């Protein structure tokens, strides 16, 4: 299975609840803002980089725990071994970008 198949067949069906999707998008923005903030500090504080996965993933994991549970997969999705973990990271960013583009197109029309 390639990344596009994974995104269409696995990732998107697990992300159908609109509030869960919004939480994933918030986590994506928060994680990127955290990364930019840490990397632009006058003195780079390397331990702060270790918080990136927490800042990035926590809102989405909360969304899965509260809104879109999957008993077969479980709530600790970072422990999944059925697909490469970085595919989930990339899919989260792709979903965020696609939703933003869809919103911008709707506003433009």
Q: Where are the domains of the chain?
A: 3-108
| Whole-number pLDDT of residue 43 | 80
What band does 36 get if pLDDT is binned at 50, 70 and 90? very high
Concatenating the DSSP letter of every residue in 20-51 gives HHHHHHHHHHHHHHHHHHHHTSSS--HHHHTT
* C-alpha closest to that of 83 among 14, 26, 20: 14
What average pLDDT score do residues 74-92 get?
Answer: 78
Would you state the pLDDT for residue 100? 95
The dihedral built from the CA positions of residue 29, 33, 34 and 36, taken in this order, carries a sign that is: positive
pLDDT at 21 over 90: yes
Q: How far is Cα 4 from Cα 48, in angstroms, rounded to an integer?
A: 32
């Amino acid at each position: 299975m390639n990344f596009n198949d994974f995104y269409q067949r696995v990732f998107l069906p697990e992300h159908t609840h609109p509030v869960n999707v919004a939480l994933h998008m918030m986590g994506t923005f928060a994680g990127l803002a955290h990364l930019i903030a840490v990397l632009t500090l006058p003195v780079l504080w390397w331990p702060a980089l270790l918080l990136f996965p927490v800042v990035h993933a926590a809102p989405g994991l909360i969304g899965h725990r509260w809104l879109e549970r999957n008993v077969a997969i479980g709530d600790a999705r970072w422990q999944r071994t059925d697909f490469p973990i970085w595919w989930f990271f990339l899919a989260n960013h792709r979903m965020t970008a696609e939703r933003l583009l869809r919103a911008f197109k709707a506003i433009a029309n």
